[in-house]
Structure 1
Amino acid sequence: MNQVTITGELIERSALRYTPAAVAVLDLKVLHSESVDQAGVSRMVKFEMPVVAMGDLALMWQSAVLGQILKVEGFLAAARQNSPRLVLHAKRIGVSSNV
Structure 2
Amino acid sequence: MNRLLLSARLIERGALRYTPAGLPALDVALKHESEVEEDGKPRQVSLELRAVAIGSITQPLQRLAVGEAGEFAGFITAGRNGRGWVFHITALEPA
The answer (yes or no) to whether the contact 2:64–2:94 under 8 Å persists in 1 is no
The answer as to 2:4 corresponding to 1:4 is yes
Aligned AA for 1:46?
S
The answer (yes or no) to whether the contact 1:49–1:88 under 8 Å persists in 2 is yes
Q: Quick one: percent identity of the two aligned structures?
A: 35
The answer as to 2:26 corresponding to 1:30 is no
The answer (yes or no) to whether the contact 2:60–2:92 under 8 Å persists in 1 is no
Give the TM-score of the pair, scaled to structure 1: 0.88
Aligned to 2:42: 42
Aligned to 1:69: 69
Aligned AA for 1:49?
L
Aligned to 2:94: 95
Specify every segment of 5 or more residues in structure 1 that has no aligned partner in the other structure, as ranges: none
RMSD: 1.2
Aligned AA for 1:22?
G
Aligned to 2:18: 18
The answer (yes or no) to whether the contact 2:5–2:74 under 8 Å persists in 1 is yes
Specify every segment of 5 or more residues in structure 2 that has no aligned partner in the other structure, as ranges: none
The answer (yes or no) to whether the contact 2:27–2:51 under 8 Å persists in 1 is yes
Aligned AA for 1:72?
F
Give the TM-score of the pair, scaled to structure 2: 0.91
The answer (yes or no) to whether the contact 2:13–2:29 under 8 Å persists in 1 is yes
Q: The residue matched to 2:45 in structure 1 has which SS? A: strand
Label 1:77 to 1:40 Cα distance change in 2 as closer, same or farther (>3 A).
same
Aligned to 1:83: 82
Question: Aligned partners of 1:60 and 1:43: how far apart in 2?
Answer: 32
Deviation at 1:31, TM superposition (A): 0.6
